[in-house]
Structure 1
Amino acid sequence: MTEKKLKKIEFGFENVESGEVSVDAVQDMKIVGLHQVGHRDFHDGYVSFTENLVADSFLIELDYEMANQNLTDSDEPVGEQLYDYDDISNVTLYFEDGTSETINLPWLELRRDENDWQSSELRTNRPLNKETLGRMSPDLAKAMQRFEKDDRFMNRKILTVYVNKDK
């Protein structure tokens, strides 16, 4: 297994705009079913070979306000773009070692310029209430409170964006 430290994520939108967020805004991310798709083109006696990474599904959870501190190419806050429009076509992961990987996401266009396989949800990440904590063992309740105290995403608006071709 190879690990690289993520620096930022750039979202490519269907209308050829893009917008990025720092890894500090990311609470969680999952890329499932990642595979390479190869293309061979022939033109004027030359064969060109291209390999693209494609994912079967993509999930990201972001701090909504932090994402909105960055703007897309058309000056729209990134969080609003992600929440209001279902049009992510790819993501590019930028790593601290200077490398990057672009991953194409599954796309089904039944509505013009929108991905019918994409959905988003906005919620506030709240601590467990006293009733729920009361049903836990005292040790577990104490551990959960400690965990919540150290959670930098607690009491923040969390944007979840999900793209899945099996939706």
Structure 2
Amino acid sequence: MTTTHRNETRIDVDPEVPLVRITREFDAPPAKVFRAHTDPELFAQWVGPRDTETRVDVFDCHTGGSYRFVTISDGEEYGFRGCFHEVRPDELIVQTFTFEGEPDGVALEKLVLEDLGDGRTRLTSTSLVDSFAGRDAFVASGMEVGVREGYERLDEVLAR
């Protein structure tokens, strides 16, 4: 008998600082989860809601590198870009994140991968923005749907 884990995405808004924390477990080892975040071909397969397509323009995932990708939904294109400040294989990615539609809004993101053993990984992502208004706009933009559906899509990529 095969047991499948239904991994829940937890999204918490910090009441003290303008920060969003996302926690999610995956049925895959850290190396595989890390690769899905750093390989542009894999990244494009899972990031964002199910009804979007992703085109990666630049994805130089190493300390000091940068990225830009575009999501396409109903014929509309939305650009995102940032810089990789620290990349440590299988354990950490620190990056900036900017939605080009709001170029003054920059988030500092930290993704930490924790090996839970038994081929499982916990990913904790924190996004710090410069104001509570900016954080609340970030959350109100539909980010929750994109994150949840994106991680469901990531489950599918990791299972292959």
Regarding TM over 0.5, the answer is: no
Larger radius of gyration: 1
- Shorter-chain TM-score range: under 0.3
Q: TM-score, normalised by structure 1?
A: 0.24
The structure with the largest helix share of the pair is: 2
